[in-house]
Amino acid sequence: MAMNSTPDAIFWYGCNMTRHGEVIRASARILEAVGVAAAPRGGPAACCGSPKDANARINGGMARRTVQAFNGSGAAAVITWCPSCHMNMQDSMAPVTPTNFETQHITEALWARRAVLAPLLTQAVPARVLVHGHLGFQGRVPINDLVPALLRLIPGVTVLDHPYRAPGHMCSALAGVPGALADCHRALLAVAEENRLDTLVTIFHSCHREAVALERHGLRVMNWIHLLAAAMGLPAEDAYKTWRNAQDARAAIGDERLTQAGETAFARLVEPELGQPPVV
């Protein structure tokens, strides 16, 4: 969906979601199916500025450019994915550069349209799941309630109510603190084992990219959008998970895609991440 026509909304997927193109694609299709024509926008050109937290001038410039682009699109709403983007929009972007759109998280947009969504979830997805919640962001958007509620609309899905919440707002915030992410993953594995669950469901992208390595412990890892897509019969193959857990990431990706990425960029920027050892 191009920005040269006025969309109902922008689906602001953030930056690091480009690892999970199928989640962006499926999210946009699910939104469209419930009546929201949302144009995906993200990447460095639509950044909230937080990667440059150490420099307010650069951070603020990136944020202002993003708000101005969204204002110029004519969209009445910006539907967010990333909790950092969402909070930064509320805390520092909109107060600095006035917006002419409302901001809503994708879980809120889908839950508000659950009467339309539920009949579309026709495919059973047998799974006993633990939703990987964090303490943060819940105060802004009741994400730890909305995701399980959406999953319970899917035939075959059983969601465990469990009080474990990881610190932080998503796993990228824990990754820089020695021991924190490993503690989180050990806790998730323990809860899954104690309750004989077969699937860990991530909410956010940064959690997903870290958690997919837990499949090496025999626990299936899916994002909540993967489950909704499966229930709707939409394709959403988790390529990142395959690459991250492959013995040979290059072979798993294939020559055609490697050529698209560019050998130098792949070797310098992608391959080291895919080859990282799991934290537990």
Partner 1 sequence: MTLADRIRDEGARLAAACTACGACVRACPMTAYVPAAMADISLTAFGMRDLLTGGVGNAPGLAWVAVCARSGVCSDACPEHLDAAFLLRLAQMRAKGALDEAPRIPVKEDTGFSARVKAFARLTLTEGEQAEWL
Tokens of 120: 């579309």
Cβ(13)–Cβ(40) below 8 Å: yes
Measured between alpha carbons, how far is 161 from 155 in angstroms, rounded to an integer? 17
Nearest approach in angstroms of CB 5 to partner 1 is: 11
Shortest distance (Å) from residue 193 CB to partner 1: 22
We find the least distance from the C-beta atom of residue 268 to partner 1, in angstroms, to be 7
Closer to partner 1 by Cβ: residue 20 or 226: 20
**Closest to partner 1 by CB, 182 or 219:** 182
Within 10 A of 179 (CB to CB), how many other CB atoms are there? 9
Considering only the C-alpha atoms of the chain, give the largest distance between any 2 of them, rounded to a whole number of Å: 52
Residue 218 beta carbon to partner 1: minimum distance, rounded to whole angstroms: 26
Residue 223, token pair as written in the block: 């994002």
- Our CB check for partner 1 shows the closer of 149 and 187 to be 187
What is the Cα–Cα distance from 219 to 149, expressed in whole angstroms? 22
Instruction: Provide the binding-site residues for partner 1, judged by CB under 8 A.
Output: 1-3, 13, 15-16, 18-22, 24-25, 39-46, 49, 51-57, 59-60, 63, 83-84, 87, 91-92, 95-96, 134-139, 167-169, 173-174, 176-180, 239-240, 253, 257, 260-262, 265-266, 268-270, 273
Distance CA 168, CA 87 (A): 13
- CA dist., res. 60 & res. 39, Å (int): 24
Q: Cβ of residue 151: shortest distance to partner 1, in angstroms?
A: 23
Pairing of strands 220-223, 199-202: parallel
Residue number, 169 or 230, with CB nearest to partner 1: 169
For 120, residues 6+ apart whose C-beta sits below 8 A from its C-beta are: 33, 34, 231, 232
Quote the least distance from Cβ 217 to partner 1, whole Å.
Answer: 23
CA 171 to chain centroid: 11
Q: CB of 241 within 8 A of CB of 215?
A: yes
User: Min. distance of Cβ 228 from partner 1 in angstroms?
Assistant: 19
Q: How far apart are alpha carbons 167 and 132 in whole angstroms? A: 11
- Cβ atoms of residues 141 and 108 within 8 Å: yes
Q: Which is nearer to partner 1, 10 or 154 (CB)?
A: 10
